[in-house]
Structure formats: C-alpha cells, structure tokens
Amino acid sequence: MTTTEIAIDAIRGVTFGPEARFQNLTMMPIIRDEDGCSDYVTLDEALAKEWAEITEVNDGGQVSELKIIVKGTAPVLLLDGEELIGAKQNRVLNLTILAPAQRTTVIPVSCVESGRWRRMSRTFSSSTRTQFAEGRAARMRQVTASLSVAGDRSSDQHDVWCRIADKSARLNSPSDTSAMSAMFEKVESGLDDFVSAFTPLERQIGAVFFINGQPAGLELFDAADTWRKLSAKLVRSFALDAIDRQRRRAPTSDVPAPAVFVAAIASSAASSFAAAGEGDDVRFSGSDITAAALVARGRVIHLSAFPVGVV
C-alpha cells in the first residue's frame, strides 16, 4: 500500500463520538476501537527531559529554518503550527515532522514575531499553543504549493505576518514586537475555558471542529495518548478563531455532518513527498479543502485538514 493510500484509508475509517459544544465551537471527537500507544515522544516531553534541543541553524540565524538536535533514543514529534519561543524570534512549524533519534534535522518554520531579530536565548522552548487555525490553513496551502513547484517547504512569510496583524487588531492585542503570542495571552482565561470544555475522551485520537456551524478543521493522530498530550494546544488554536468570529458573525446551532467534510478530504487530489524527518509528507488539494498527513512507520502519525475560504 502506498503512503497516499494509507492516508486515504485513515480518513475513510474514522468513527465519531458524542458531540461536544462550548460557546460557538463544536467538537466531534474521532474515536478508535483500541487505545494505541505511540513509539515517539512529543516536543514538550523531549525538551523537558533534555532529550532534544532546538536552535537557530547557525550564529547568524535564518528566518525560515531552525534545527532540532535529538539526543535521545526515541524520535520526536513536532506538530504543524506548534509555536517555538526564544532565540532570535518566535517561529511556528511549517508542517508536522518526526525528527529521527540521535540526529540533527533542519526544520522549516515561519516567523510569528516580525518586530524582533535579536537573541533572547540560545535555544527555543515550546509553548502551550499552535498557530491559530485560519493561519495554519493558509500556510498549509502555501507549503503544499511550494512543495509542488519548488520542492521546498516555504510559506508566504508576508502573508503570515499580515494575518497576525489583522487578527491582533481585531482582538485589540498589540505587541511591541508584533508577536502572535500577545493575542493568545490577551484572551488566555477564555481559551482555558474552551480547553476545560473539551477534555479528551477514552480512545479519542482526534476531532473535527466547527465554528459558528461551519467546518473549521480536522486533526487525526495515530494514538490516543498523543491526542491527550497535544489536544489542549490544538483546542486553543481553534478557540482563538472562535473568539474572533464571535465578533464577526452570529453563531448558529446547526452543525453539518462531519462525514461530509471527511469525504471531501478523501476525494481530494493527493501527492506524496519525502518528509523532512522520517516518513512521507502526503498533501491533499481541492477547490474547497487543504490537508497534509505525515505517514511514517506504516501509518498516519498526524493528519490535519482545513476548509478553503471560510472566514
């Protein structure tokens, strides 16, 4: 079975649990029959136990690339959109990567702090969030286009900054360095309420999210313990958009069947590329969908999908 077929099978095989709702954000949990365990560690775990470190690629630094040095014996999972804090400026991961054990891997990133280029620390720390979902969706489309045309994993950095500036203005969260983190900090207590409302279920491996009754995105992992460790970061990502859209559009109680969104992903055109770390990077493109999956060790480690053009 090809990596593309593995990704499509994973999407088509999802099973949903009971709907959960808080304010204008709805979550349809994805449940697996068996509670599998991962054979890698998350970035938070690796950094906390000093099994890995992330630094600038060199003393001068490069906006679009960092490097992770994995010292431990297990690979490290870095999540698409995961925010890295410190060094010369804060960045987010351009895609999900399984960084091999006991190796140094260059990782493609985007800057989310345009007003700083000075060293605050030698290494990066992880944060409690990923980039807001609307920004992740746009950047995913850009990286897919970059892979198809140029064979690299670049984002449109100007667009990334513009989306941060626009959302920061709407949320009234100015920052001296134009840091994305400021908007999350401004509504931190509200985001924590969303996290508390969407606690992981037994055997949950992902979810489909809806904002104001419209599909906002899908997250799927290979193991329930991975979802438990990373779900709060992802909920904050969608919750920030939910808070933003409360001010722009009236919420609705009508939520379409998640199977419709899933079917749109599975029927989109798919291409496979060598991953930045272990495995393959499978990209889905359609007129109304963008998605990416990391397929490694014979399975989908992580898959994200977003609708195109929903604001």
**Those residues with Cβ within 8 angstroms of residue 209's Cβ, 6 or more apart along the chain or in another chain:** 25, 26, 27, 28, 133, 215, 216, 217, 218, 219, 238
Strand partners, 261: none
Q: Distance between CA atoms of 208 and 142, rounded to whole angstroms?
A: 22
Asked whether the CA dihedral 206, 209, 215, 217 is positive or negative, the reply is negative
Q: Distance between CA atoms of 272 and 285, rounded to whole angstroms?
A: 12
Q: Distance between CA atoms of 88 and 116, rounded to whole angstroms?
A: 7
Cβ proximity of 128 and 301 under 8 Å: no
Name the residue type at position 235. Answer: V
Chain centroid offset of residue 267 CA: 22
Question: What per-residue confidence (pLDDT) applies to 161?
Answer: 97
Q: Distance between CA atoms of 99 and 33, rounded to whole angstroms?
A: 28
Mean pLDDT of the chain: 94
Q: Distance between CA atoms of 248 and 74, rounded to whole angstroms?
A: 44
Q: Distance between CA atoms of 198 and 209, rounded to whole angstroms?
A: 11
Name the residue type at position 162. Answer: C
Cβ proximity of 281 and 294 under 8 Å: yes
pTM of this structure: 0.95
Question: What per-residue confidence (pLDDT) applies to 249?
Answer: 61
Question: Exposed (0-12), middle (13-18) or buried (19+): which is 182, by Cβ within 10 Å?
Answer: middle
Question: What per-residue confidence (pLDDT) applies to 306?
Answer: 97
The lowest-confidence range among 12-16, 98-102, 177-181, 248-252 is: 248-252
Distances (CA, A) of 142 to 43, 107, 152: 24, 16, 11
Query: Domain residues of the chain, as ranges?
Result: 3-39+132-307
Question: What per-residue confidence (pLDDT) applies to 286?
Answer: 87
Q: Distance between CA atoms of 262 and 285, rounded to whole angstroms?
A: 13
Question: What per-residue confidence (pLDDT) applies to 287?
Answer: 85
**Is residue 307's pLDDT more than 80?**
yes
| Mean pLDDT for the stretch of residues 245-269 | 80
Residue 300: other Cβ atoms inside 10 A? 23
**Is residue 181's pLDDT more than 90?**
yes
